[in-house]
Amino acid sequence: MASREEILAYVKRKFQTEPDYPWRQYPEYAVLRHAESGKWYGVIMNLPRATLGLAGKGDVEVVNLKCDHVLDVLLNSEPGAVLPAYHMNKKHWLTIVLDGKFPAGELYGLIDESHGLTR
């Protein structure tokens, strides 16, 4: 499992990324951007479970990442761990629920991929 804090530490160490918090109404939403271009390669959000079609009450933390094999990741993940992207192009982005179901090593690999795809 990887938490928000672990993801932010990883991208700082690997890519020197400092999260951007661009929305006053959503102060916990952290955008991961390339320093040179400003392009996004990820966004960490807290969303209502119902918004994502997940069972239970309350919010869940997620990260959106760009991926060139979205369908493969969706089909080979534990149900509810990876979803079609929330509020992004579902053909090229996916949403990973940060609740421990998706392996941290695979998540870090997808972060690396997203960083590379968005240069």
Structural domains in the chain plus CATH codes: 4-57+72-117 (3.90.1150.30)
The separation between the first and the last C-alpha atoms of the chain, rounded to the nearest angstrom, is 27
* CA proximity to 62, closest of 22, 3, 17, 118: 3
- When pLDDT is averaged across residues 100-117 and rounded to a whole number, the result is 96
Average pLDDT, the chain: 95
pLDDT over 90, % of the chain: 87
How does residue 75 score in pLDDT terms, banded at 50, 70 and 90? confident
How does residue 78 score in pLDDT terms, banded at 50, 70 and 90? confident
What does the pLDDT read at residue 70?
A: 85
| Long-range contact set of residues 89-92: C-beta below 8 Å, sequence gap at least 24 | 92/66, 92/67, 92/68
pTM of the predicted model over 0.85: yes
- When pLDDT is averaged across residues 16-25 and rounded to a whole number, the result is 98
